[in-house]
Amino acid sequence: MTSISKNNWDPQAARMAGALYLSIAVCGGFSIGYVPTQIVASDAASSSANLMANLGLFKLGVLADSAVILFELAITAILFQMFRHVGPTMSMIALISRAGMITVMGINLLLWVMPYLLLHSDAGPTLLVQFCFEAHAMGVFVWQLFFGVHLLALGWLILKSNIVPHLLGRGLFIGAFGYLIQGVAALAFIDIALINYAAIGLLVIVTISEVSFGLWLLIWGSRISPTQTVTA
């Protein structure tokens, strides 16, 4: 039986991290999961027509994407502050990898708004519009690589800390390979059914773990006193 001190745990930071996690899930689910399905088609003409017909939805997606980037900046700093005493090197890896993801997301947002600018120019080249949409889709797989590394590091920190339930740490660590496998397969143009199914299964695990981690931080993590101890 070991008594684990929680002098370094900040309940206010945990509450903020939980709120940010859930906000990212909602905004990202809308801007990344829903909006592109309503606009991007298999050909340039249809994508351009969909964009012009759904300008309101497109702009809402841009706002949601912008919010995700800002929320990501905040949660990256908060998570580093929360776990740096557990493993300084691994915390720095988590911070750098998530910062790399945010950088790619910013570039990806620029690619996403370029079609709007092109269609409102005099030339309106629809082929270039489609190129930007497809480049944006590939950019998602690039930032997934950074995010996968971040989740590996975060999962390790959770398992090492004995503060957050280890089941969540295992889910984040194992599920991180879903992002890594899907990203590598897409960027290397590998289309094998078994790999795709494995990636989807792992992504389901990591999605449930991320949402659960956010809820735990918001509800239970914020109730832990900095001087409280727990028997493990």
Tokens at 49, concatenated: 């027509």
Instruction: Say whether 122 sits in a helix, a strand or coil.
Output: coil
Quick check: 183 and 202 in contact, CB under 8 A? no
Q: Is the pLDDT of residue 4 over 50?
A: no
In this prediction, residue 232 has a pLDDT band, given cuts at 50, 70 and 90, of very low
Tokens at 141, concatenated: 């797989």
Q: Is the pLDDT of residue 158 over 60?
A: yes
The CA distance from 142 to 126, in Å, is: 25
Mean pLDDT in residue range 196-201: 96
Residue 4 forms beta bridges with which residues? 230
Instruction: Record the pTM.
Output: 0.78
Reduced to 3 DSSP states, what percent helix, strand and coil does the chain have, rounded to the nearest 5? 80, 5, 15
Mean pLDDT in residue range 203-211: 95
Q: Is the pLDDT of residue 5 over 50?
A: no
What are the tens digits of pLDDT across the range 61-84? 999 999 999 999 999 999 999 999
C-alpha angle 99-204-154 in degrees, rounded to nearest 5: 35
User: When comparing pLDDT for 186 and 119, which is higher?
Assistant: 186
In this prediction, residue 225 has a pLDDT band, given cuts at 50, 70 and 90, of low
- Name residues whose C-beta falls within 8 Å of residue 54's C-beta, 6 or more positions apart in sequence: 38, 39
The pLDDT value given to residue 134:
85
Burial of 94 (C-beta count, 10 Å sphere; 0-12/13-18/19+) = buried
Mean pLDDT in residue range 187-199: 92
Instruction: Give just the sign of the alpha carbon dihedral 40, 41, 42, 46.
Output: negative
Mean pLDDT of the chain: 88
Q: Is the pLDDT of residue 13 over 50?
A: yes
Q: Cα-atom radius of gyration of the chain, to the nearest Å?
A: 20
Mean pLDDT in residue range 13-41: 94
The pLDDT value given to residue 139:
87
Q: Is the pLDDT of residue 195 over 60?
A: yes
Quick check: 176 and 117 in contact, CB under 8 A? no
What are the tens digits of pLDDT across the range 95-114? 999 999 999 999 998 888 88
Burial of 190 (C-beta count, 10 Å sphere; 0-12/13-18/19+) = exposed
Q: What are the extents of the domains in the chain? A: 7-225
Q: Is the pLDDT of residue 126 over 50?
A: yes
The pLDDT value given to residue 6:
58
The DSSP code for 227 is: T
* Secondary structure, 3-state, 137-153: HHHHHHHHHHHHHHHHH
Name the nearest CA neighbour of 116 among 129, 130, 104, 103: 129
Q: Is the pLDDT of residue 229 over 50?
A: no
The pLDDT value given to residue 3:
35
